[in-house]
Structure 1
């Protein structure tokens, strides 16, 4: 379910633009134009934090590997537990075996 507070014509356009990209190089080109280097690095960091949390890493491990603050790690963890499942969708698709193992653990 999409958050109705976020759903609007401009965000739809952004999502459609992202879906139109076909290669990793095209993604780099688009994100380089769209985001600052800091914004892109922050998004990449949050995705890695989510991956590591799902894999069972401790906060100390995550801080050491990513440099993320404990506040960022906590925010990502809250999204994993109570968010819109966007991280789960992406991480399951990037590493389907890892996602399947996580789903089995839930049973």
Structure 2
């Protein structure tokens, strides 16, 4: 799955993200890079993943996040069959006490 997006441009993007040192740096960079709608979609998907990881039910997630059931289903598929990206992030956030 990663192979379909892998490219020099994507490598540059991810290397650029890895240079960011603070949440404030992230706000500045991503505000320049993305529209507010794109950023809100990323944040919503991460929120959905967090709630799914907490074993919340779809109806509860729809109510709390406003995400469609299609989005919730896609995120759920990524959690179960993806590349462990969400889990890597969740584990690291938990180690920093930024996530329960």
- SS of 2:4's equivalent in the other structure is coil
**Per-residue deviation, 1:96:** 3.8
Provide the aligned C-alpha RMSD in A. 1.9
List per-residue Cα deviations over 1:30-81 (Å, max 9, x = no partner): 0100000000000000000000001010101111110000000000000000
Number of paired residues?
98
- SS of 1:84's equivalent in the other structure is coil
Which residue does the alignment assign to 1:33?
A: 32
- SS of 1:27's equivalent in the other structure is helix
Give me the whole-angstrom Cα distance separating, in 1, the residues matched to 2:69 and 2:6.
30
- Structure 1: runs of 5+ lacking an equivalent: 99-107
TM-score computed with the length of structure 2 as normaliser: 0.92
Asked if residue 5 in structure 1 is aligned to residue 4 in structure 2, the reply is: yes
Which residue does the alignment assign to 1:105?
A: none
Q: Which structure 1 residue ranges, 4+ long, deviate > 4 Å from structure 2?
A: none
Give me the whole-angstrom Cα distance separating, in 2, the residues matched to 1:87 and 1:23.
20
**Per-residue deviation, 1:19:** 0.2
The 3 A distance-change label for structure 1 pair 61 and 96 is: farther
Question: What does 1:1-107 align with in structure 2 at a 5 Å threshold?
Answer: 3-96=2-95
- Structure 2: runs of 5+ lacking an equivalent: none
